[in-house]
Amino acid sequence: IYDYYSFSMMNEAGDQPFNGKFFPAQGAGTIARHIPYMIAWRIPYLAVWDNDTEGRMEKGKAESFFGPLEAKRFDLLPLHGKQRSRLLQDLFDNSEWLAAKKELEFAASVSFEKVVLALWFVENRTSFLKRLFPKTIETFTKFLKAQNERANFW
């Protein structure tokens, strides 16, 4: 669900670079379970997995099951620099993340999930995000724009 919150918030704050729908999942292993609904309801979608061992494995399973045409809608988070893996958390700029935790009055050790949930429900969310997360919004926007450009089904 935190992928849904994160992508939705950053898409909104980045002035809607993504035209598709965000559908929440509960971990890499559950993403493929939602794909038949997207197909049946003719909802334009993109399935995105973390670019780690589990994400690559689950994406591979989905590609095998759904075939090469549907697999054009599947992606991994892009690696940056010399990264060997990339999680959703890695899309957030660390200094912005720490500043947001401080402003939200969270301890430095609070979980990613608790902060994302707090951001989802913060008052005046879009202006809050634009003020505290300009680099993060840019990162998400770049990724989401690239997905629109490569997809021919929206």
C-alpha closest to that of 79 among 66, 90, 69: 90
What would the pLDDT profile of 123-146 be if each residue is shown by its tens digit?
Answer: 999 999 999 999 999 999 998 888
What tokens were used for 124? 């005046």
The pTM is what? 0.85
What would the pLDDT profile of 97-129 be if each residue is shown by its tens digit?
Answer: 999 999 999 998 999 999 999 999 999 999 999
C-alpha closest to that of 10 among 133, 146, 118, 112: 133
